[in-house]
A and B are shown apart, each in its own frame.
Chain A
Amino acid sequence: MNTSVQYLLKRLGIYTIAGWAAVTLNFFIPRMMPGDPVSVMFASFRGKLKPEAIEALKQTFGFTDEPLLNKYINYLSHLLKGDLGISTAYFPEKVSSIILSGLGWTLLLVGISLIISFVIGSLIGMIIAWKRDGKLDSILPPSFSFISSFPYFFTAMLLLYFLGFKLGWFPIRHAYNSDLIPGFNIEFIVSCLHHALLPASTLIFMGIGGWMLQMRNNMIGTISTDYISFAKSKGLSQKRIMIWYAAKNAILPIITSFGMAIGFILNGTILTEIIFSYPGQGYILFQAVQAQDFQLMQGIFLTITLSVLAANWLIDILVLILDPRTRK
């Protein structure tokens, strides 16, 4: 078998083990915490329920008195079928369908803004490193460091207040105009984009600086290598050296941190989605915490973990494609 494929399968194996470990921790930790979700949940009924009804509900939600191990096996088998249980906060919706809809919105918002900020940041980093000590190089890095030093929610709220509330240029909540029926038509898509624009641009704006500085530093290291000076004396055009000789090498380490960033961002968007009331993962998690909806919380934690693992595997593939030295 091809060694690259072997390597990828190996990595997949490692991620599977990590995924299983995450699932297990995800199962046991909440159950080891003090406090009883059942009593919290039924307290809201203030004793209006008959014992039989409580018992029936317990069965429905899976709060049984079985031994922990049995529950664990049950949990795993349900999980494999894609069944994460039923939400209490959004009763009677299934956790999996809530998460799917949330995940869709989050991926749309976060995925696109992460890619855009990565691309723009790296491009700027590449250019300012190439023209080191030029005008742009003396202006951009310090100003982006300044911007990134603001707390994220502060910038986001500021933008929301002025651009959304005061000027009314952007909608201040939700992912699309609630008068519309979701569907694949232009009106709906435009509305989605309009709603995503403000939260996405804050994310992009705050993200560019980090990528830019990383890329700039890597580029400067690469520019001093022997193959760059050889390429220069070969008489290649500046553009070719900058992109195919310098940037292509400089971006490799950043790709790896891009994979990690996906994980951080999935967590980090909680703030964005809360501030912009955007119905993604983070917003749902916030709701779930407020409603003490354990099933939903667990489900969201799980998707975050799994998506980080999946992202890392994709990055493995990407690095394999970009760096021939990793292909043995």
Chain B
Amino acid sequence: MENKILDINKLNVDYLTERSSINAVRDFSMHINENEIFGLVGESGSGKSTVIKSILRILPAPGVITKGEIRYNNQDILEFDESKLSSLRWSHISVVKQKALNSLNPLLKIKEQIIDTMQAHEQIRTKDAIQRCNALMDLVEIDRNYLNSYPHELSGGMRQRVVIAIALALKPKLIIMDEPTTALDVVIEKEIILKILDLKSQLGFSLLFITHDLNLILGFADRVGVMLEGELVDIDSAEIIKSGGNNAYTKKLINSIPDLSNYNQSKTNKNEPELIHVKNLIKSYSRHSSIFSSDKFHAVDGVSFNVNKNEIVGLVGESGSGKSTISKILTKLIDFDGGQLLFNGEDVSGITKSKDLLAYRKKVQMIFQDPFASLNSIHTVYHHLSRPILIHRLYNKHSKKERDEMVLKESIDILKEVNLSPPEEFLYKFPHEMSGGERQRIALARALLVQPQIIIADEPTSMLDMSIRMEILDLLKSLQAKKGISILFITHDIASACYLSNRLIVLKNGKIVDSGVVSEMINNPKDKYSKLLIDSCESGWFINQ
């Protein structure tokens, strides 16, 4: 039998509040063998982080471990005193945190942040410590000269490697990685995961990899556990989980993995007229401006594309590619520096009067990324829905009483359309009383109310959990077909873009690198970068290469 490095037995964690206690984790049991990669998957709020904090014994108040045991090398961690714990932390179990990009102190050199970790746990002379730093840098393949740099001088991927180097500094037996690649783009994510696997085969440690991205973890984990609302609902080898697992929820998660074979095959009608046409759009920001100099960089650099009537166009790109800037330009939230913006064949580049802007925005509505931030938390759903009707003066000819009735009726109708039922109940809810998915439906309803010709949806699903994502995409798709409007779907996730859109545009560093009908793009991407994006939808894609 293999050696268990970590063995968790019926762990229960409660968060105590004044009146009651919340069961954050219930009867959680799992183990990790030596040299094994264990993937723990769950949506936000499923209790993954609570489990890690319990393992490290850094659970903040009011969290309390009420029952169970956590054994590391056959010793119960829960019975350790503070001194034993501090010798356990990092020398035996180390962590790479979720926001590893911000895990480094901006004011200390990389070298100092590695050395202080060593010195906190062992007596070591600075000369020896530097030698070990050099070895660590070689291990994560960063030039040794960067030891004397500050974090801001390193790229995101390099900082992530430094954090991994720090995690390896004391040669721990178990490394916990909590969503280590979430903030990175696909290319860097691939590099980092390959590096981690490479280091594991060199050094031999166990890995507890926590993620919400089932697709990613299935590519390289030995075993996978699935958490739902504080319970481990499924645990098995990666192959079995991949083929559907042992639980309905696992199946649901597996099914919500974006699948490129399920792309939108409907052809757009070529005869539909153009709705939006941008020609050679340029927008630049100045980076460091002073009286004496300014350093400009082009966020959008000569982009031309069009969106036809009754069409969904996916605009795909990573952070920094300029896609949000484009969405802001199209909704006239910011001005642009060069090029033309045509709407229904009319040049709208120059409209600045608030009356004209209002008329334009009635036709061009927007849905934002963060449904938590885009709804003012002090107003009810009814307020949010009635605003666009009143602002765009849809019923101004009617008397106030009639108008109120119309607003109420319209609001209820639109809530039905976005599948929020019973609508009468949702009408008087506040944003904080709804889930992320429900809020995003409200945002969609609000955009639809003024009967726009196009909706600009800027990452409408990226803040939502996997299982809800598909529901929102389906809703967008069905409403688009029903209302015959256009949608510009802006996303970093090429799979959802393929699922929803008729046409794709791939954006990189402010320039369009590839575009075309979805089926063409999937089967025959013209550009290296779009091929990489397409490939990244396969699970384990980077290992098979």
Q: Give me the interface of A with B, judged by CB distance under 8 Å.
A: 10, 14, 225-227, 229-237, 240, 244-245, 248-249, 322-325, 328
Enumerate chain B residues within 8 angstroms of A245, measured Cβ to Cβ. 105, 108
Contact of A234 among B106, B120, B153, B291 (CB under 8 A): B120
Say yes or no for B296: interface residue by CB 8 A criterion: no
Say yes or no for B58: interface residue by CB 8 A criterion: yes
State whether B152 touches A227 (Cβ < 8 A): no
State whether B105 touches A249 (Cβ < 8 A): yes
Q: Give me the interface of B with A, judged by CB distance under 8 Å.
A: 56, 58, 86, 89-90, 94-95, 97, 99, 102-108, 116-117, 120-121, 150, 152-153, 163, 166, 288, 290-292
Enumerate chain B residues within 8 angstroms of A233, measured Cβ to Cβ. 56, 58, 89-90, 94-95, 97
The CA-CA distance from A249 to B288 in the complex, in Å, is: 22
State whether B117 touches A325 (Cβ < 8 A): no
State whether B56 touches A248 (Cβ < 8 A): no
Enumerate chain A residues within 8 angstroms of B292, measured Cβ to Cβ. 10
The CA-CA distance from A184 to B147 in the complex, in Å, is: 49
B384 to chain A, nearest CB (A): 31
A14 to chain B, nearest CB (A): 7
Closest to B95 in A: A233
State whether A234 touches B107 (Cβ < 8 A): no
Closest to B88 in A: A235
Assuming the A-B contacts A10-B292, A236-B120, are A324 and B106 also in contact, with contact meaning beta carbons closer than 8 angstroms in the complex?
A: yes
Enumerate chain A residues within 8 angstroms of B117, measured Cβ to Cβ. 234-236
The CA-CA distance from A280 to B151 in the complex, in Å, is: 46
State whether A244 touches B105 (Cβ < 8 A): yes
B85 to chain A, nearest CB (A): 9
Enumerate chain A residues within 8 angstroms of B163, measured Cβ to Cβ. 230
B526 to chain A, nearest CB (A): 38
Enumerate chain A residues within 8 angstroms of B94, measured Cβ to Cβ. 233
State whether B107 touches A324 (Cβ < 8 A): yes
Pairs A–B under 8 Å by Cβ, sample size 11: A227-B104, A227-B106, A230-B103, A230-B104, A233-B94, A233-B95, A234-B116, A244-B116, A249-B105, A322-B107, A323-B107
Enumerate chain A residues within 8 angstroms of B120, measured Cβ to Cβ. 234-237, 240
The CA-CA distance from A137 to B330 in the complex, in Å, is: 51
Enumerate chain B residues within 8 angstroms of A237, measured Cβ to Cβ. 120
The CA-CA distance from A61 to B418 in the complex, in Å, is: 85
Find the residue from B90, B95, B106 having the highest chain A CB count within 10 A: B106
Enumerate chain A residues within 8 angstroms of B116, measured Cβ to Cβ. 234, 236, 240, 244
Enumerate chain B residues within 8 angstroms of A249, measured Cβ to Cβ. 105-107
B97 to chain A, nearest CB (A): 6
State whether A235 touches B107 (Cβ < 8 A): no
The CA-CA distance from A77 to B287 in the complex, in Å, is: 41
- CB-based closest 4 A-B pairs: A230-B103, A226-B102, A324-B150, A226-B99
The CA-CA distance from A132 to B67 in the complex, in Å, is: 30
State whether A325 touches B150 (Cβ < 8 A): yes
Instruction: List 5 other contacts, CB 8 Å, given A234-B90, A323-B107.
Output: A226-B103, A234-B117, A234-B166, A235-B86, A245-B105
State whether A10 touches B290 (Cβ < 8 A): yes
The CA-CA distance from A232 to B58 in the complex, in Å, is: 9
A201 to chain B, nearest CB (A): 33
B77 to chain A, nearest CB (A): 14
The CA-CA distance from A209 to B152 in the complex, in Å, is: 34
B288 to chain A, nearest CB (A): 8
The CA-CA distance from A227 to B152 in the complex, in Å, is: 13
State whether A248 touches B89 (Cβ < 8 A): no
The CA-CA distance from A65 to B93 in the complex, in Å, is: 85
State whether B108 touches A325 (Cβ < 8 A): no
Closest to A249 in B: B107
B345 to chain A, nearest CB (A): 47
B315 to chain A, nearest CB (A): 31
Enumerate chain B residues within 8 angstroms of A235, measured Cβ to Cβ. 86, 89-90, 117, 120-121
Enumerate chain B residues within 8 angstroms of A323, measured Cβ to Cβ. 106-107
The CA-CA distance from A231 to B89 in the complex, in Å, is: 12
The CA-CA distance from A225 to B104 in the complex, in Å, is: 10
State whether A226 touches B97 (Cβ < 8 A): yes
The CA-CA distance from A227 to B89 in the complex, in Å, is: 17
Closest to B114 in A: A234
State whether A227 touches B103 (Cβ < 8 A): yes
State whether A244 touches B90 (Cβ < 8 A): no
Closest to A248 in B: B107
Enumerate chain B residues within 8 angstroms of A324, measured Cβ to Cβ. 106-107, 150, 152-153
Enumerate chain A residues within 8 angstroms of B90, measured Cβ to Cβ. 233-235
A81 to chain B, nearest CB (A): 30
The CA-CA distance from A233 to B93 in the complex, in Å, is: 10
Find the residue from A14, A226, A248 having the highest chain B CB count within 10 A: A226
A89 to chain B, nearest CB (A): 41
A188 to chain B, nearest CB (A): 43
The CA-CA distance from A138 to B292 in the complex, in Å, is: 48
Closest to B96 in A: A230
State whether A227 touches B102 (Cβ < 8 A): yes
Closest to A11 in B: B290
Find the residue from A225, A227, A234, A237 having the highest chain B CB count within 10 A: A234
The CA-CA distance from A234 to B360 in the complex, in Å, is: 54
The CA-CA distance from A322 to B108 in the complex, in Å, is: 10
The CA-CA distance from A328 to B150 in the complex, in Å, is: 11
A195 to chain B, nearest CB (A): 40
State whether B102 touches A225 (Cβ < 8 A): yes
The CA-CA distance from A306 to B424 in the complex, in Å, is: 68
Enumerate chain B residues within 8 angstroms of A226, measured Cβ to Cβ. 97, 99, 102-103
Enumerate chain A residues within 8 angstroms of B106, measured Cβ to Cβ. 227, 249, 323-325
Closest to B170 in A: A235
Enumerate chain B residues within 8 angstroms of A328, measured Cβ to Cβ. 288
The CA-CA distance from A323 to B151 in the complex, in Å, is: 12
Closest to A234 in B: B117
Enumerate chain B residues within 8 angstroms of A325, measured Cβ to Cβ. 106, 150, 152
The CA-CA distance from A7 to B290 in the complex, in Å, is: 11
Enumerate chain A residues within 8 angstroms of B102, measured Cβ to Cβ. 225-227
The CA-CA distance from A323 to B86 in the complex, in Å, is: 31
A33 to chain B, nearest CB (A): 32
The CA-CA distance from A322 to B150 in the complex, in Å, is: 12
Enumerate chain A residues within 8 angstroms of B56, measured Cβ to Cβ. 233
B12 to chain A, nearest CB (A): 23
Find the residue from B97, B107, B153, B290 having the highest chain A CB count within 10 A: B107
Assuming the A-B contacts A14-B291, A235-B117, A325-B150, are A230 and B97 also in contact, with contact meaning beta carbons closer than 8 angstroms in the complex?
A: yes
The CA-CA distance from A1 to B291 in the complex, in Å, is: 19
The CA-CA distance from A236 to B169 in the complex, in Å, is: 13
